[in-house]
Amino acid sequence: MIRHAVICPWADEHTTGGGPSDTSTVIFEPDQDHPGWGFTCLHAHCAGRTMADALVKLRVTDADAFLTPKGRVGNETQFSPKPLSAFLAERPEPITWVLQSYIPEGALVLLASYPKVGKTTWIYALMIAVARGQTFMGFGTRRGPVLLLAVEERRQDVQIRFFRFGATHDDAVYVHAAPLNHDSEFFARIADFILEHQIKLVVLDTLGSFWQIPDENDNAQVERHIRPWRDLARTTNCAVVLIHHQRKLKGEGGREIRGGSALLGGVDQALLLDHRQGGSLNQRVLSTVGRYDASPKALVLELVGHDYVARGTVEESDAEAMVAQVASVLSDTWQAISTIVETTGLPAGQVRRTLETLTGREQTERAGAGRKGDPYTYRRRSNSIRAQPYPKGKKGKSKARHDLHT
């Protein structure tokens, strides 16, 4: 293994002095067992820093700036295939989540919705939660400093939103509220800032106001403008969220995102926020399109005060809404299924399944044998448990079957 003693890019931060003969910082050349260049600094301040960190510090973004071991200038390559047995023997790095199941470290994430649906409200609440390490939507967060690039909003509006969610001067959130240029100098400066302040989450609000490309449907232009953000997330291991808009015409599977398909292809995860069809005004559906199996495909959210509360998947939320609707028409009087169907307007099959759920939860009482001439009837569960006359039984019948769940 060939090594080179170098002056550490962070030498001015070391607590002990060095010099030209200092060998505490070393760069390793690739070899048969290590296909990539390596970086090690023995000073405690540099613990954990990698070759990628050094490249960012030196503002070198092209990994091929280093020569290969054979010194083939102009033909550098990182091509180094391994047998499948060796590849599978490598232990995969576990995913570290900034927002559990939704936003990993080192990932580029797109948050998209139609205007005024609430994506800005959602992201501000998330930023406060990450800065404090609090749960968000019932999911855990990884605590760390946050950087907001508010290139579209007025400063007053940014302040109002933070105050709305209870932000204080102690929250580790950095704010840039002004336009920015989409150039290499910007990305070099922001990379330095992320590493210096150990930023865990970067938010750009909004992508459309920042990149200003002539044609958002031109995939070649989209890819050129999205690649620096992806590289930024990778080299700094920071989660980067780009806020964007959806098309006026709805689509599915990410097709509703405004712009060319290269935008969806260029990010690791897309979060789509939409109104809840048939839900209350403060309900939204958060859907995911990405590469992470742990991410829920569609989650119903409800804004309660300043907190987002997860109400389960769309299917679970629909089922609970049906349970509430059926339960609301039950009373102390026995009712047949047909009566409940007529009152609620729900299909008979759904009413039957919902009544079974309510019975299993011991919220209802059921009578009858469930057959012709003796159908099931239901009533709201009473506090005292005693046999009740079957409401439609024949006169003179001495006994009635009761199936009371206690």
Query: How do residues 242-296 score in pLDDT, each as one tens digit?
Result: 999 998 767 677 788 988 899 999 999 999 999 987 767 888 999 999 989 999 9
Listed in sequence order, the residues at least 6 apart from 245 whose beta carbon sits closer than 8 Å to its beta carbon are 112, 113, 114, 115, 206, 208, 258
Average pLDDT estimate for 126-139: 96
Listed in sequence order, the residues at least 6 apart from 169 whose beta carbon sits closer than 8 Å to its beta carbon are none
Instruction: Kindly provide the b/e burial profile for residues 373-382, where b requires at least 16 CB atoms within 10 angstroms of the residue's own CB.
Output: ebebbbbbbe
User: Is the confidence at residue 69, as pLDDT, over 80?
Assistant: no
pLDDT, position 19: 57
Residue 214 gets which letter from DSSP? S
User: Which of 36-50, 144-158, 302-316, 387-401 shows the highest mean pLDDT?
Assistant: 144-158
Do residues 365 and 382 lie in contact, with contact meaning Cβ atoms separated by under 8 Å? yes
pLDDT class of 22 with cuts at 50, 70, 90: low
Of 384, 392, 395, the closest CA to residue 335 belongs to 392
pLDDT, position 30: 73
Adjacent-strand bridge partners of 284: 275, 301
Average pLDDT estimate for 84-101: 91
Better-scored residue on pLDDT, 84 or 1: 84
User: Is the confidence at residue 185, as pLDDT, over 70?
Assistant: yes
Listed in sequence order, the residues at least 6 apart from 51 whose beta carbon sits closer than 8 Å to its beta carbon are 27, 36, 37, 38, 39
H helix or E strand, kind and range, residue 312? strand 307-313
Better-scored residue on pLDDT, 49 or 398: 49
For all residues of the chain together, what is the average pLDDT?
Answer: 84
Better-scored residue on pLDDT, 155 or 77: 155
pLDDT, position 141: 97
Among the listed ranges 3-7, 19-23, 316-320, 394-398, which one has the minimum average pLDDT value? 394-398
C-beta atoms surrounding 246 within 10 Å: 22
Do residues 95 and 234 lie in contact, with contact meaning Cβ atoms separated by under 8 Å? no
The C-alpha atoms of residue 317 and residue 91 are separated, in whole angstroms, by 38
Do residues 286 and 125 lie in contact, with contact meaning Cβ atoms separated by under 8 Å? no
CATH class of 330-403: mainly alpha
Average pLDDT estimate for 100-125: 94
* Domain 97-313 shares a fold with domain 330-403: no
**Radius of gyration of the chain from its Cα atoms, rounded to whole angstroms:** 30
pLDDT, position 321: 77
Average pLDDT estimate for 159-165: 93
User: Is the confidence at residue 111, as pLDDT, over 90?
Assistant: yes
Adjacent-strand bridge partners of 113: 245, 273
pLDDT, position 83: 93
Q: What is the DSSP string of 249-297?
A: S--STTTTBSS-HHHHHHSSEEEEEEE-TTS-TTEEEEEEEES-TTS-S
pLDDT, position 384: 35
Percentage of the chain lying above the pLDDT 70 cut: 84
User: Is the confidence at residue 65, as pLDDT, over 70?
Assistant: no
Do residues 256 and 220 lie in contact, with contact meaning Cβ atoms separated by under 8 Å? no
Average pLDDT estimate for 131-154: 95
Query: How do residues 334-387 score in pLDDT, each as one tens digit?
Result: 999 999 999 999 889 988 988 998 988 889 999 999 888 899 999 998 753 333
CATH architecture of 97-313: 3-Layer(aba) Sandwich (3.40)
Residue with tokens 């400063």: 155
Do residues 243 and 111 lie in contact, with contact meaning Cβ atoms separated by under 8 Å? yes
pLDDT, position 277: 78
Average pLDDT estimate for 140-166: 94
Cis peptide before 206 (omega within 30 of 0): yes
Better-scored residue on pLDDT, 395 or 14: 14
Of 299, 273, 262, the closest CA to residue 122 belongs to 273
pLDDT class of 24 with cuts at 50, 70, 90: confident
The C-alpha atoms of residue 195 and residue 336 are separated, in whole angstroms, by 67
Adjacent-strand bridge partners of 83: none
Among the listed ranges 37-41, 225-229, 289-293, which one has the minimum average pLDDT value? 37-41
The C-alpha atoms of residue 154 and residue 366 are separated, in whole angstroms, by 60
pLDDT, position 21: 57
Of 112, 111, 118, 115, the closest CA to residue 282 belongs to 118
- For residue 17, give Cα distances in angstroms to 6, 23, 25: 14, 12, 13
pLDDT, position 337: 92
pLDDT, position 242: 97
User: Is the confidence at residue 90, as pLDDT, over 60?
Assistant: yes
The C-alpha atoms of residue 30 and residue 2 are separated, in whole angstroms, by 8
H helix or E strand, kind and range, residue 80? none
Do residues 379 and 330 lie in contact, with contact meaning Cβ atoms separated by under 8 Å? yes
On whether the pTM is more than 0.75, the answer is no
Secondary structure (3-state) at 197: helix
Do residues 299 and 286 lie in contact, with contact meaning Cβ atoms separated by under 8 Å? yes
Q: What does the domain layout of the chain look like in residue ranges? A: 3-89, 97-313, 330-403
